[in-house]
Structure 1
Amino acid sequence: MYDYLIIGSGLFGSVFAHKMTKAGKSCLVLERRDHVGGNVYCEEKEGIHIHKYGAHIFHTSIKEVWDYVNQFVEFNNYVNSPVANYKGELYNLPFNMNTFAKMWGVVTPAEAAAKIAQQRQEAGITEPKNLEEQAISLIGTDIYTKLIKGYTEKQWGRSCTELPAFIIKRLPVRYTFDNNYFNDRYQGIPIGGYNVLIDALLKGIEVRTGVDYNQVRQEYEGLAKTVVYTGPIDEYFDYKLGRLEYRGLRFETERLEEVNHQGVAVMNYTDRKTPYTRSIEHKHFEFGAQPVTYVTKEYPADWQPGKEAYYPVNNERNQKLYCQYAALAAEEKNVIFGGRLAEYKYYDMDDVIASALDMVKKVMAE
């Protein structure tokens, strides 16, 4: 008999298991995959930690979260400064004075702001109704056309005019020569990769991999006082109200006999014709000097049941369906739903950890 049966060993499940074990509770963690860590899992090859499920760059302004993860692993001083590649033209991201200077030849912030204001006015947008209009009102027509439109349409598999405006609202725009993508106070990559963090969180806790809880649920009924479920919420209820939609990803990783292939960890390909959205050269996350390199091309894909679910499609239909599932979840006794799949929400890593820590506090208070 366990106090908690935790479904999923990603960040939410691992943090919850760690905190509850530390509080004297017994936990059993079940993981569907053959490894722990969810999407932050890294595969090591020739001293290079390959982010198997896409680039994961830790950043936060939540001091409690930063202090918490630093108990387990030291972070390096990596700063995310991706580069956009539009048909061979290279632009700094996030959109900043380096981008504006390359795009328009402007020199001062006032000139850049005037150019954007002019293009916004020419487009005649007052109340943005979709992603395209929101992007143009934020950054102008030229940058939208070259650096946002193609990338976004590949990513979501639909026209920017069909996507909601809120998707682009958190896009960083700066009138400084600052290539740091994130505004957060703390940023870095765990030295030795994310597996170091996950292994430390789960140290001394019973974990069973290769177990799909939704397929063998009857075997585990009554084994714990409380279930902590971090899988897809619609799958928990056997899709009885219908399926939630996601966007998928496909990865192609290549070993190259080069010390340095692209000069940056993340390069976005923003034209519509290039089939992948970005290429990731993993060694740059940890300033590697190995004689070889590994580069992963990231292809957006239509999601199919049974495949890994990456991005929730937060349109009106899916949000309405999720709310119906959330109402069912609220009625479940002795089951806690948490994490990006159970909450059908795009979470940054620090927000997942903060959510798990908050849930622990709530449970302990009760």
Structure 2
Amino acid sequence: MGAGFSGAVIARELAEAGHRPTVIDGRDHVAGNCHTARDPGTGVMVHVYGPHIFHTDDAEVWDYVNAHTPFRPYRHSVRTTVRNRVYSLPLNLLTINQFFGQTLRPDEARAYVEARADTSISEPANFEEQALRFVGPEMYEAFFKGYTEKQWGVDPRELPASILKRLPLRFSYDDNYFAHRFQGIPGAGYTALIESILDHPAIDVHVSTLFQPEMTDRYGHVFWSGPLDGFFGYAHGRLGYRTLDFERFEGTGDWQGCAVMNYGDRDVPWTRITEHRHFAPWESPEGSVLYREFSRACGPDDIPYYPIRLVEEKALLAEYADRAARTEGVTFVGRLGTYRYLDMDVTIRDALDTARAFLDRAPGAAMPAFVTPPL
């Protein structure tokens, strides 16, 4: 169930091993949230559900996707507007010098930031404490506090410190948003990539088709990449997500000069503006398609984007994971099926590992509910 990366990769691996997979998706297209489509008015290749940048250190995954459609080099460029000024992201030596009006060298900047950090915090208990220990109050207030409140809809003191630990602080002028060896975007778009993965005579694809859990008896095994709680009819309650609203507008030529412009001020309602022409720098359309993004709590009829995974959600996840472990004939996969935030390369890696676990199991052996445990 699901024609995104998880469903497509698993189906292809099983088809090449002699199985006859059926792939079902409720949307009218494949590729899930990675779906791309050419805008007829401007000619821009639009990332319909928000931008997706492929980056990985996994050479096998990189070779896998490139075998299906060639990737073009892409270097992700992000800026942020804060207090009517534009700064470089991720936080780097240019950001530090811009923000504090300095001309510091790397060693000087390291000492300068450390002098502003709250060294009384030895074991940060939450996002705010981690930020204060990490960069001090000035940069926390400017670059993290307002954006985080808008993105997650809670006080930063309610978020775990681990979220900020993943964000880099560089004492060089390197503003490449990702640090992975392999980075790029498929030249023909992500939908073409997924279509290629699904292009096998043994794979039967059905879009605009809702899969009901009771349909599992029709198949030898089900790989479910839909919402974990949805499979069980939300019997224990709904797992919490953040969703996104997109306000589309068009421009002429290059409207903002970069792919993504964040807005860190709390009084600006959107979190960022994405300009989609920049996700295909090898093209030169005359027009431009842009999205303002607004983050909010996910309702029953919304598209779930970001799993919240705070204490309450993890307790509920444990209930569903236990129920899944007692359900025969179903393996839960992907971002929604395992209630984890997954980059595309990790999703593909998990899908390959899941398919191989299915193919390599001993005759008569049961397939686990999760190849990668969600907790």
Q: Are 2:35 and 1:37 aligned?
A: no
- Once residues 37 and 297 of structure 2 are traced to their aligned partners in structure 1, the CA distance between those partners, rounded to angstroms, is 25
Q: Are 2:112 and 1:115 aligned?
A: yes
Q: Which residue of 2 aligns with 1:289?
A: 284
Q: Which residue of 2 aligns with 1:164?
A: 160
Q: What does the per-residue CA deviation read over 1:61-118, in whole Å, with 9 as the maximum and x for residues that have no partner?
A: 0011001101011111111120011132111111111111101213211221112111
Note if contact 2:253-2:285 (Cα within 8 Å) is conserved in structure 1.
Answer: yes
Note if contact 1:81-1:94 (Cα within 8 Å) is conserved in structure 2.
Answer: no
Quote how far apart the aligned CAs of 1:221 are: 4.1
Q: TM-score, normalised by structure 2?
A: 0.92
Q: Are 2:274 and 1:280 aligned?
A: yes
Q: Are 2:137 and 1:135 aligned?
A: no
Tell me which amino acid in the other structure corresponds to 1:159: D
Runs (4+) of structure 1 exceeding 3 A deviation are none
Q: What does the per-residue CA deviation read over 1:222-281, in whole Å, with 9 as the maximum and x for residues that have no partner?
A: 32100110111111111122211111110111122x110001011111110111101110
Q: Which residue of 1 aligns with 2:371?
A: none
Structure 2: 5+ residue stretches without partners: 362-375
- Once residues 71 and 93 of structure 2 are traced to their aligned partners in structure 1, the CA distance between those partners, rounded to angstroms, is 29
Tell me which amino acid in the other structure corresponds to 1:210: S
* Equivalences, count: 355
Q: What does the per-residue CA deviation read over 1:37-81, in whole Å, with 9 as the maximum and x for residues that have no partner?
A: 110001211331111111100000001100110101111111112
Note if contact 1:227-1:335 (Cα within 8 Å) is conserved in structure 2.
Answer: yes
Q: Which residue of 2 aligns with 1:263?
A: 257
Identity of counterpart residues, as a percentage?
A: 40
Q: Are 2:311 and 1:311 aligned?
A: no
Matches within 5 A, 1:240-255: 240-255=235-250
- Once residues 206 and 254 of structure 1 are traced to their aligned partners in structure 2, the CA distance between those partners, rounded to angstroms, is 37
Q: Are 2:47 and 1:56 aligned?
A: no
Q: Which residue of 1 aligns with 2:353?
A: 358
Note if contact 2:43-2:285 (Cα within 8 Å) is conserved in structure 1.
Answer: yes
- Once residues 221 and 353 of structure 1 are traced to their aligned partners in structure 2, the CA distance between those partners, rounded to angstroms, is 23
Note if contact 1:155-1:300 (Cα within 8 Å) is conserved in structure 2.
Answer: yes
Quote how far apart the aligned CAs of 1:184 are: 0.6
- Once residues 81 and 249 of structure 2 are traced to their aligned partners in structure 1, the CA distance between those partners, rounded to angstroms, is 19
Tell me which amino acid in the other structure corresponds to 1:47: G
Q: TM-score, normalised by structure 1?
A: 0.94
SS in 2 for 1:225: coil
Q: Which residue of 2 aligns with 1:229?
A: 224
- Once residues 91 and 352 of structure 1 are traced to their aligned partners in structure 2, the CA distance between those partners, rounded to angstroms, is 32
Q: Which residue of 2 aligns with 1:336?
A: 331
Note if contact 1:172-1:181 (Cα within 8 Å) is conserved in structure 2.
Answer: no
- Once residues 221 and 19 of structure 1 are traced to their aligned partners in structure 2, the CA distance between those partners, rounded to angstroms, is 20
Q: What does the per-residue CA deviation read over 1:160-193, in whole Å, with 9 as the maximum and x for residues that have no partner?
A: 1111111111001111110101111100111021
- Once residues 163 and 17 of structure 1 are traced to their aligned partners in structure 2, the CA distance between those partners, rounded to angstroms, is 37
Q: Which residue of 2 aligns with 1:3?
A: none
- Once residues 212 and 141 of structure 1 are traced to their aligned partners in structure 2, the CA distance between those partners, rounded to angstroms, is 49
